Amino acid sequence: MSERPVAASPSSSIPGTAPLPASGLVLLVLLTIFWGVNWPAMKLALTGIAPFTFRTICLLIGGVCLLGFALAQRQSIRIRAGDWSPLFWASLLNVTGWHLFSAYGLLQVPAGRGAIIAFTMPIWASILASIVLKEAFTGRKIIGLLLGIGGLAVLIGPEMAALGAAPIGSLLMLGAAVSWAAGTIVTKRQPWQLGTAALTGWQLLLGGIPILIGALLIDPVPDFTGLSQPVLWAAIYAAVIPMIFCHWAWFRIVSLFPASIAAIGTLAIPVVGVLSSALILGEAIGPAEIAALVLVLAGLSVVLLRR
């Protein structure tokens, strides 16, 4: 995880026919697996820990560990004057907005449906990247995006009537997707003077402040003595692997790839979430899940596999 300060590389630095960095592709595969498995882990953990308290613990552990890692690698964690404003907005959008919108949204819609709506993020990130970062909205990206969204539509299609019955929850999850997409663009646009570990750690800590306030005001006083072992291990997994490694890997991927390609690369995460939920929680899996997986993988192949 040795690294240099994160610079916002222009999309032209990776031409349409140039290969994508192999390290970025490896990180994307690991990110997809670990973040996908995190959905059933979170669902299990939240059966014993209140939402805001759980997210506060995860953000605190993730932020402190990433800053500690940066210091151990003798990297500077000092925030330069020019980074304060974009760091505020990136933290607000990537962490605070995502967690608050998704927390309240998941109170009104089932977790599976909410996750699928949240991962419409690549649509909004691709649109924003073409407007703000001037990234080309190529035919390859459009085809990959349509295939990926088609896969998600297969999963959510039979339940559209149920979503229509809870429009506020659906809109909140959509707000989470747009917030994450906008945060990705802010992160990509800024030539950061911080390394990826320090940048990620500060975003988790600063963006987690409103989440901590919510935990103090809304959630009951936590009592961890009665947690079952499955709930405890699920909470440990969610707080360590996805919160530390996956957040670091995501911001590293954003620094390596054009923002739209990085966003499209996340389309497989909810599919892995559905499949892992079937294995871990015993949730039903059928032809729709298999068809969605095929469509999403086809979409990712169009975008990520170059000559």
Instruction: Give tens-digit pLDDT for 211-262.
Output: 999 889 988 888 888 888 888 999 899 889 988 999 999 989 988 888 878 8
pLDDT, residue 89, reads 96
Q: And the tokens for 53? A: 């308290």
CA nearest to 260, candidates 96, 143, 99 = 143
pLDDT band at 303 (very low <50, low <70, confident <90, very high): low
Residue type (1 letter), 58: C
- Can you tell me the distance from the alpha carbon of 68 to that of 257, in angstroms, rounded to the nearest whole number? 26
- Can you tell me the distance from the alpha carbon of 9 to that of 28, in angstroms, rounded to the nearest whole number? 18
Instruction: Give tens-digit pLDDT for 258-282.
Output: 887 887 778 778 778 777 877 877 7
- Can you tell me the distance from the alpha carbon of 94 to that of 169, in angstroms, rounded to the nearest whole number? 19
More confidently predicted of 81 and 289: 81
pLDDT, residue 13, reads 42
pLDDT, residue 218, reads 87
Instruction: Give tens-digit pLDDT for 111-120.
Output: 666 667 777 7
Q: Does 110 have pLDDT greater than 90? A: no
pLDDT, residue 202, reads 96
What angle do the packed helices 22-45 and 247-256 form, to 10 degrees? 150
Locate all alpha helices (DSSP H) within 84-166, ordered by sequence: 84-91, 98-106, 111-118, 121-132, 139-156, 160-164
pLDDT, residue 147, reads 79
Q: Sketch the domain layout of the chain as residue ranges.
A: 19-304
- Can you tell me the distance from the alpha carbon of 46 to that of 68, in angstroms, rounded to the nearest whole number? 27
R_g of the chain computed on alpha carbons:
19
Instruction: Give tens-digit pLDDT for 137-165.
Output: 677 778 877 877 777 677 666 656 655 55
More confidently predicted of 184 and 134: 184
What mean pLDDT value characterizes the chain?
80
Q: Does 94 have pLDDT greater than 50? A: yes
pLDDT, residue 157, reads 65
Q: Does 22 have pLDDT greater than 60? A: yes
Q: Does 27 have pLDDT greater than 80? A: yes
> φ and ψ at 10, to 5 degrees?
-65, 155
pLDDT, residue 165, reads 57
Q: What is the DSSP track for 213-254?
A: HHHHHHSPPP--TT--HHHHHHHHHHHHIIIIIIHHHHHHHH
Q: Does 10 have pLDDT greater than 50? A: no
Residue type (1 letter), 96: T
pTM of the model: 0.78
Q: Does 16 have pLDDT greater than 50? A: no
C-beta of residue 166 within 8 angstroms of C-beta of residue 303: no
Q: Does 11 have pLDDT greater than 50? A: no
Instruction: Give tens-digit pLDDT for 44-91.
Output: 888 888 888 988 999 999 999 999 999 998 989 999 988 999 999 999
